Chains A and B, each alone.
Chain A
Amino acid sequence: AQSVTQLGSHVSVSEGALVLLRCNYSSSVPPYLFWYVQYPNQGLQLLLKYTTGATLVKGINGFEAEFKKSETSFHLTKPSAHMSDAAEYFCAVSDRSNYQLIWGAGTKLIIKP
């Protein structure tokens, strides 16, 4: 069965510092991978996705992620954190056997002034 692991339920960084949110997946087939962001009391918004092609994917709000097949990882990064980045971030992999998304538990990003 496919699974997604997000390392760290909470990550705290200083404003202006590098943001790194980790996501590892297990999949028996080439995966489709997603990062979503959720602000308090709101729905989820797609940040970026990997389907095929270039392994470095750029998304909205300055975020990017790199698909590394050998490491089964899809870590999310942003060079310089902004206060507005404070939110919860979810990694997901598409389960092609039943076309559902398998979700990680989420990581809350805290930005320190």
Chain B
Amino acid sequence: DGGITQSPKYLFRKEGQNVTLSCEQNLNHDAMYWYRQDPGQGLRLIYYSQIVNDFQKGDIAEGYSVSREKKESFPLTVTSAQKNPTAFYLCASTISLDSYNEQFFGPGTRLTVL
């Protein structure tokens, strides 16, 4: 079955640590996205990538970094510069940016800072 996988489902980070969230898709989609979700705030875009080896900052990119070395993979690193990283993180993909931009979502990773 095609879909998007995110791992781990739960992640705990100590202050000052960098952590990396995994996102893999086997839908052959060109574009991939990372969102952050906080209670009552909907979805906020962190980074997105249209093609391999290219990505753009979203609305809240500070304290985060990404890479897109393969079409299937778009990992997100939460760095120590992100002062309030506790949130639910969602990865999404879409066929191409010439489509309606219907996005498909992974199951999410809940990150908690200890």
Q: Which residues of A contact B58 (CB under 8 A)?
A: 100
Q: Considering only CB atoms and an 8 Å cut-off, how many residues of chain A contact the other chain?
A: 22
User: A13 at interface (Cβ–Cβ under 8 A)?
Assistant: no
Interface-located stretch among A15-23, A45-53, A64-72, A79-87: A45-53
**8 Å CB contact of B102 from A42, A49, A100, A105:** A49
Cα–Cα distance between A35 and B4 once the two chains are bound (Å):
19
A99 touching B107 in the complex, CB below 8 Å, given contacts A9-B40, A43-B90, A44-B90? no
Q: Which residues of A contact B (CB under 8 A)?
A: 9, 32, 34, 36, 41-46, 49, 51, 90, 94-95, 99-101, 103-106
8 further A-B contacts with Cβ under 8 Å, apart from A41-B110, A43-B108, A49-B100, are A42-B107, A44-B43, A90-B42, A94-B100, A99-B31, A100-B48, A103-B43, A106-B40
